[in-house]
Chain A
Amino acid sequence: MEKQMKELKEKLLKEELADFVFSQQMKANVFTKIEAKQKQKFSFIRLSKIVPISLSITAFLIFSVGIYVLITREMVTLPDPSPNPGQNTNIEEDPDTNRPKENFSKPELVPLDYLPEGYVFKHKHINEDLYENIYEKEGNAIDSFSYGIQLTKPEIDGVLEKDIKFTVELSGQLFKISDNQLLLLWKDEGVYQFVQKTGSLPESEFYKVVDSILKEQGFTTVLGPYISELEALEQQQAAIDEQLAFNEEKAIALLERFNNTINSAFNDATEDEKFNTYKTKEEFYSLFTDFVAREFVESTFSFRVDEKEDGLYVVPTEYPPHYIPEFPFQLIRISETEYTLTQYQETDLYGQLTLTITFKNHSGTWMILKQQIDEVSLPKS
């Protein structure tokens, strides 16, 4: 091999690199560039005073024109003091008794004043003494709820969970029929009324429907605080689910943040390779440690930055292999709190390699845990 390499050198010099020398013209080009840079530097000093003033004037002009356009096109709207036409604000209540208003003579399937988002009225179901309005989520019949009245007590195939107080005098009973089915039953004006839900309708929305029916029937309900409490719990749960959930979007966001942080960190260095902002390795690492495991940060950058007495310096060397958006990848779930992303890359700098990046959920935060590089034995021909 040694002999072959020597022969190769001679061959290259005789053939591909024959007469390939750094000419006087090239040398002259370099000096032209140097002189141009020196002139540019001089004019930049003058420009550096003019540019901030010009920018300020431009910003002021843009702001003024924007305000003028907004006003002339009447895009500025003021809050409308009149009530929302969709809202029922004319409920006549008897505050002393919390009783239904006087003109409510008999129970009826009142039109819903509150309809959860995405749900629509589907049909009316009548069976002997049962009258029921069915509502479904648009395009998804599995998620539904119904509001019904029945003269006789309905037979409920479920477990009584608890009593729910609607008003000072009126209560309902909550039955759990299955994991995703709830039914709330109450008796008023001699008939049984119920609201039943199947599927993903949140409990808070379920009670908002009940609340709107009772209000439409003239009651002043006490369900408000309970609904607020449920909403708060649901939001908490959603936040926990969101923290635990991991997908391609989150993985890419983390990797792009990693790449962008590397770029902006190294751009901080001046031409003499000294960082302007970061004085120690610790300061440099802290750019990453809220989303990348400390061990990985240290193993990646400890030899790429050099801490000296007068500050922190870049050690000029190649970038670590990293996620490249142009290549396809595969995200695999290892466990609820661990995922891996695998990407096959082929670049001029590193040849062919497979990058495996591990993500870990640490106390509710997804982080880049580590990166493994497996080189493919042969470059592709």
Chain B
Amino acid sequence: MHKQKAIADLMDHYGTAVLQLAYSYVRDRQTAEDLAQEIFFKCYQKYDTFQGNAQIQTWLFRVASNHCKDYLKSWHHKKVFVSNYLSSFLTNHQSSPENELIKSAENQELTEALFKLPVKYREILFLFYFQECSLKEISEISGLNLNTVKSRLSRAKTLLKEILQERSGEDGETNEGVKGETIKGRIG
């Protein structure tokens, strides 16, 4: 009963943080919800291994991070990835012109760039900027040494800049040419 109470408290305090962390790996609400629930169930199973000397948040994020990475490696993910990718592609392209205008183009670019990063970089950025974990905490969560975390954070930012530059370079071309042709092709 003590264990169930502890997990209930964890869900109350960190439920949404874990949900958002899971989303950062998969960028799909339904999958993130499933993953978050599985993560807390896993925490229940592993609760006896939690050592009081570690911070509960660090331990929880560590379980979450490993669970999400296991999911990304799994066959299930590989099978559903294509269909999800296609549906998200279609949704993006079917959205109305009004909606497109509402979106802030610059921020949208940054969001897309963030989700284009490989998971190993994205998770560091997300933990650092979104969950506001310290580098030391990230090191404990990911099981990587501190220097690796530092270099991954730096590399993640560089990659992000490169993607943004590349995308802004492509914009003129895309808007006037490539994208137009694709859409025409689809309609035709």
Contact = CB atoms under 8 A, between A and B. Distances in A.
Interface of A: 1, 4-9, 11-12, 16-17, 20-22, 26-27, 29-31, 33-34, 37, 271-273, 303-304, 315-319, 347-352, 377-379, 381
Nearest to B13: A22
A26 B33 contact: yes
B143 A30 contact: no
B67 to A, nearest CB: 10
Given A30-B41, A351-B118, A378 B166 contact: yes
Nearest to B40: A30
Interface stretch (B90-98, B106-114, B180-188): B106-114
Contacts, number: 130
Q: What bracket does the count of chain B residues touching chain A fall in?
A: 35 or more
B162 A22 contact: no
Interface of B: 4, 7-8, 11-12, 15-16, 18-20, 23, 27, 29, 32-33, 36-37, 40-41, 44-46, 48-49, 62-63, 66, 69, 72-73, 77, 81, 104, 107, 110-111, 114, 116-121, 125, 129-130, 142-145, 157, 159-163, 166-167
A188 B187 CA distance: 91
Contacts of A352: 118
Given A26-B33, A26-B37, A351 B111 contact: no
A379 B145 contact: no
Given A349-B72, A378-B163, A5 B117 contact: no
A81 to B, nearest CB: 56
Contact of A350 (B27, B48, B118, B161): B118
B16 A379 contact: no
B167 A317 contact: no
A8 B116 contact: no
Contact of A316 (B130, B143, B160, B163): B143
A12 B18 CA distance: 15
B16 A22 contact: yes
Contacts of A273: 49
Closest 10 pairs between A and B when the two form their complex, measured CB to CB: A22-B15, A351-B118, A317-B143, A272-B49, A5-B129, A21-B16, A30-B40, A348-B72, A11-B107, A22-B16
A1 B81 CA distance: 30
B118 A319 contact: no
A342 B19 CA distance: 38
Contacts of A17: 20, 23
11 contacts: A4-B110, A7-B110, A11-B111, A20-B19, A20-B29, A26-B19, A37-B45, A271-B46, A271-B49, A350-B120, A378-B166
